[in-house]
Amino acid sequence: MLNTIGGLLSGGVPAPFTVDYLVIAGGGGGGSQSSASAGGSGGGGAGGLRCTVTATGGGGTLESALTINALTNYTVTIGAGGAAGTGTNQGSNGVNSVFSTITSTGGGGGGSQGTNAGLTGGAGGGGAASGAAAGGSGTTNQGYAGAQGGSGGYSGSGGGGAGAVGNRTTGIGTYGNGGAGGAGVATSITGSSVTYAGGGGGGAYLEPARFEVGGAGGSGGGGAGGVLNDAVAGSANTGGGGGGSGGITGTGTVKVSAAGGSGVVILRYTDARTIVIGAGLTGTESAASGGYKRATITAGTGNVSWT
pLDDT of residue 4: 38
Q: How far is CA 214 from CA 24, 47, 75, 179, in A?
A: 26, 21, 39, 7
Per-residue pLDDT at 79 exceeds 80? yes
Model confidence, pTM? 0.93
* 270: nearest Cα among 67, 100, 111: 67
d(CA 159, CA 179) in angstroms, rounded, equals 8
Domain boundaries, the chain: 22-67+80-95+106-265
pLDDT of residue 7: 55
Q: Once rounded to an integer, what is the mean pLDDT over residues 2-29?
A: 75
Q: How far is CA 6 from CA 14, 16, 71, 292, in A?
A: 9, 12, 16, 16
Per-residue pLDDT at 6 exceeds 80? no
Higher-scoring residue by pLDDT: 235, 2? 235
pLDDT of residue 208: 62
- What is the number of alpha carbons within 13 Å of residue 173 lying toward its C-beta? 0
1 band by pLDDT with thresholds 50, 70 and 90? very low
